[in-house]
């Protein structure tokens, strides 16, 4: 498979969705959690979606409970939380695994295209390295994603442009999305 358009995923109700439906759009694909320190990322994500959707942006939300059980609940509970607390309108898909033997093939592809390169510098980022190493050791070489709110930017041809770790400044994420939309 050479682009994200080659993948089929399940929407939050369990229906199959071909990512080919998003051909020609700029995508931001995110693994999320409702009880994470990065959950407030929903605010700038939704603001970006509202501002840039008409220009061709789609944000695809994939809840994941593999990081300290921070995405409890079923699909409807997660959806209700996101829409009521953050007013999210972007598509939310079925809760998935992003690591291990049952990792969703889409996230294996994304992480293979843009592997983890670190959380950056500083005390907060060093703490993330320590914490994620403990959590992800159970996945061994199948620890593709290090934490919640890892974001992958996809161009209009379905190719992975870049990866943003959850520690990335959301202003930088938005700037990269705007640059991609302008192409």
Catalytic residues: 36
> Among candidates 149, 164, 162, 157, which has minimal Cα distance to 70?
149
User: What residue segments make up the domains of the chain, in order of their start?
Assistant: 4-182
Under CATH, what is the fold of the domain 4-182? Answer: Glutaredoxin (3.40.30)
pLDDT in tens, 14-71: 999 999 999 999 999 999 988 887 888 999 999 999 999 999 999 999 999 988 777 8
pLDDT in tens, 79-101: 888 887 888 999 999 999 999 99
> H helices within 57-156, ranges in order?
75-86, 105-113, 123-136
37, two tokens: 């320190």
pTM of the shown model: 0.91
Span of 37-41, 132-136, 154-158 with lowest mean pLDDT: 132-136
Provide the pLDDT for residue 131. Answer: 66
């Amino acid at each position: 498979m050479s682009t994200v358009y080659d993948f089929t995923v399940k929407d939050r109700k369990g229906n199959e969705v071909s990512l080919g439906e998003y051909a020609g759009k700029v995508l931001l694909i995110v693994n999320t959690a409702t009880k994470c320190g990065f959950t407030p990322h929903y605010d700038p994500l939704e603001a970006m979606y509202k501002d840039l959707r008409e220009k061709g942006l789609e944000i695809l939300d994939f809840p994941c409970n593999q990081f300290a059980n921070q995405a409890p609940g079923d699909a409807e509970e997660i959806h209700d939380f996101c829409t009521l607390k953050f007013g999210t309108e972007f598509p939310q898909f079925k809760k998935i695994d992003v690591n291990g033997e049952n990792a969703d093939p889409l996230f294996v592809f994304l992480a293979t295209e843009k592997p983890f390169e670190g959380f950056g510098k500083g005390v907060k980022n060093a703490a993330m390295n320590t914490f994620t190493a403990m959590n992800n050791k159970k996945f061994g070489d199948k620890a593709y994603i290090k934490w919640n709110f890892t974001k992958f930017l996809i161009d209009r041809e379905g190719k992975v442009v870049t990866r943003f770790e959850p520690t990335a400044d959301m202003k930088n994420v938005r700037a990269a999305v705007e640059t991609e939309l302008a192409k």
